[in-house]
Amino acid sequence: MTTITGKHPKVTLLGAGPGDPELLTLKAVKALNDADVVLYDSLVNVEILKHANRALLVFVGKRKGNHSHSQDEINEMIVSYAKEFGHVVRVKGGDPFVFGRGKEEEIYAQECGIETAVIPGISSSVAVPASVGIPVTARGVAESFWVITGTTSDRELSKDVSLAAQSSATVVVLMGMSKLAEIAEIYKSVGKADLPVAIIQDGTKSEQKEVVGTIENILEISQNQGIGAPAVIVIGEVVHLAKGRNVVKEDWQLEDEFIFQNLNTLPFSN
């Protein structure tokens, strides 16, 4: 199969990272340089599109209550553009396989006989907490982390939040701001009202905003500070390690000297 221009149809699913254009991978830049068509989401920083200076740029973003195209339409567009023009680069914020429906698009293109490739991106689930000095794991503090979607396909809060709340793991919630009150109630119900929480809006971008509190007060704090989507919610003791916080909570015990020496930080009070 070749296009009307004689090119071989191909679809590349590309992760654009969390927002900072400098966090785009080198492989992603090369793919954008080679693109004939770029389909991009609303969470993609448009600055990265300068790397696709010879491509047709098509916005197919979806936000709550405002979908420019349905997922079925996007699938069809990916294939039709590939058949007509050649190399289609489908750009998604973060990583295309982390709540990005990238696998659905890959399978659809493959079933239509189109060659596909995947270029992973830096996921906001780890990069955004890191941007404010929060490690999702830290020896002596958190041995694991969960990454959960705050809103499922049926617009409900994921049941995994209830399971995660019972663990000692760091919990990172994506697309969860509209469910923040529900999340807080779940944690309160298992006796974790004092657990620290950080919310980072527009993480890694120049307009980034962040707030810190506890399960008990994070909803009020975020509302007072005007924090909204897109944002990453981080729940767990690792929030104590955020940079720029230097007030020591009296009952906090930093058990691992390695963390203190290498992060150059102190825990902070709620």
Q: Find where tokens 């705050």 sit.
A: 150
- CATH 3.30.950.10 placement within the chain: 124-241
Q: Which CATH class is domain 124-241?
A: alpha beta
Return the closest-CA partner of residue 140 out of 215, 237, 247, 234: 237
pTM of the model: 0.85
Alpha helices in the chain (DSSP H): 26-34, 71-85, 102-111, 124-131, 160-165, 180-189, 218-224, 257-263
Lowest mean pLDDT segment, chosen from 117-121, 173-177, 240-244: 240-244
Per residue in 237-251, pLDDT (tens digit) is 999 999 755 333 333
- CATH 3.40.1010.10 placement within the chain: 10-119
CATH 3.40.1010.10, domain 10-119, yes or no: yes
For residue 215, pLDDT beyond 60 = yes
- The pLDDT value recorded for residue 263 is 40
- The pLDDT value recorded for residue 135 is 96
Q: Residue 94 has what DSSP assignment?
A: B
| DSSP per residue, 124-180 | HHHHHHHHTT--S-BTTTBS-EEEEESS-TTSSPPTHHHHHHTSSSEEEEES-GGGH
Q: What is the mean pLDDT of the chain?
A: 88
Give the side-chain half-sphere CA count within 13 A for 3. Answer: 18
**Strands 56-59 and 37-40, bridge-based pairing:** parallel
- The pLDDT value recorded for residue 90 is 98
As a whole number of angstroms, the distance between CA 128 and CA 232 comes to 7
Return the closest-CA partner of residue 17 out of 119, 95, 125, 128: 95
Instruction: Give the pLDDT mean for 184-193.
Output: 97
Q: For residue 110, what are the contacts with CB-CB under 8 A and spacing of at least 6? A: 116
Distances (CA, A) of 31 to 11, 27, 101, 104, 233: 10, 6, 20, 20, 31
The first and second tokens of residue 267, run together, are 């825990």
Active site residues: 41, 62, 175
Q: Which residue has the higher pLDDT, 62 or 213?
A: 213
- The pLDDT value recorded for residue 155 is 86
Per residue in 56-75, pLDDT (tens digit) is 999 998 655 555 688 999 99
